[in-house]
């Protein structure tokens, strides 16, 4: 497990807020924006959810004190979605309300497809109360085109990613060419009718497409941003920032890192090679 923990540091910024904030400072020094995520999901115990809520409230207080403009991201199952809807909603109200005081943005992460509608239903309810919250849409899901249409109607901010959960072919595209095609279709919908889309991909072909699309359509760099996972394509992140694009790194931390780490390994075989190569360079 010690070896696994050391390898996970490729994708996880530490187990404590102090460790993560050191990485935030390093990234900000390179012109890269950040969103912080305290890892945790599939919580079935109220005491554990209560602790997660307090951890986020403490993090928000710390960010306000150090005058960091960092966003935060979280999963609804960490906040009690599998326990009780109203309990989860009230937990989210506490967090988003605290974030609102320091004019901070909160992104609701998306989980497996079995939770997509449940997550969206609660998000729509939160969106009626708060402007400082957005959602994630996964491009590999067949349903995502309709979801983008609905989210654009309420002018909510979307982080578009490919998706990293193992899904059946009935609900998700399986071939990369189909996932890329849908990612492009959904991106165009967001650029045309959305609000400040976050294009979250490490895919060279999709990054190239996005740069060409915004240039051809005269979309300024203040109208969208690129997003990357912490520890992946660091040089690309820096290069895009140097070229004048807004770039944000998703920086996860905490003790519940194993599910997140394993998804990164399953997502692409290149991630396994990347970790092994960099691990033995140290």
3-class state of residue 225 by DSSP: strand
Quote the pTM value. 0.92
pLDDT digits (tens, 9 = 90+) for 46-61: 999 999 999 999 999 9
> 246 is written with which tokens?
């807004």
Q: With bands split at pLDDT 50, 70 and 90, how would you rate the model's confidence at 273?
A: low
How distant is the alpha carbon of residue 46 from its chain centre?
24
In degrees rounded to 5, what are phi and psi of residue 193? Answer: -125, 0
Selection from 215, 124, 107 nearest residue 160 by Cα:
107
67: left (phi over 0), alpha (psi -120 to 50) or beta: left
Catalytic residue among 104, 107, 109, 147: 109
Catalytic residue among 98, 104, 127, 159: 159
What pLDDT is attached to residue 10? 79
- Classify domain 2-166+176-279 by CATH number: 3.20.20.220
Cα separation, 274 vs 282, whole angstroms: 13
Cα separation, 57 vs 236, whole angstroms: 32
Q: Which residues pair with 107 in a beta bridge?
A: 73, 134
Query: What value does the mean pLDDT take over residues 203-214?
Result: 97
- Within a 13 Å sphere around the CA of 35, how many CA atoms are in the beta-carbon half? 28
Instruction: Check if 246 is active-site.
Output: no
Instruction: Check if 264 is active-site.
Output: no
CB atoms within 10 A of CB 175: 10
């Amino acid at each position: 497990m010690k070896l696994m923990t050391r390898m996970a540091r490729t994708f996880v910024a530490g187990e404590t807020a102090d460790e993560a904030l050191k990485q935030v400072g390093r990234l900000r020094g390179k012109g890269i924006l950040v969103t912080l995520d305290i890892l945790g999901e599939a919580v079935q115990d109220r005491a554990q959810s209560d602790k997660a809520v307090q951890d986020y409230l403490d993090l928000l207080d710390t960010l306000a004190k150090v005058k960091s403009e960092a966003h935060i991201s979280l999963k609804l199952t960490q906040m009690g979605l599998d326990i009780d809807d109203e309990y989860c909603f009230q937990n989210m109200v506490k967090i988003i309300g605290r974030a609102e005081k320091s004019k901070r943005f909160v992104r609701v992460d998306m989980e497996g497809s079995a939770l997509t509608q449940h997550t969206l239903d609660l998000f729509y309810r939160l969106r009626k109360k708060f402007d400082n919250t957005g959602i994630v849409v996964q491009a590999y899901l067949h349903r995502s085109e309709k979801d983008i249409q609905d989210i654009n109607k309420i002018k909510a901010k979307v982080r578009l990613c490919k998706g990293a959960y193992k899904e059946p072919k009935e609900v998700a595209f399986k071939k990369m060419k189909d996932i890329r095609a849908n990612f492009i279709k959904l991106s165009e919908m967001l650029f045309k009718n959305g609000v400040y889309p976050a294009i979250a991909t490490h895919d060279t072909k999709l990054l190239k497409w996005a740069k060409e699309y915004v240039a051809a359509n005269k979309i300024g760099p203040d109208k969208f941003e690129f997003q990357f996972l912490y520890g992946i394509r660091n040089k690309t992140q820096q290069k895009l920032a140097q070229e004048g694009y807004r770039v944000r790194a998703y920086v996860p931390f905490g003790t519940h890192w194993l599910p997140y780490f394993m998804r990164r390994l399953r997502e692409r075989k290149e991630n396994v090679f990347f970790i092994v190569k960099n691990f033995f360079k140290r």
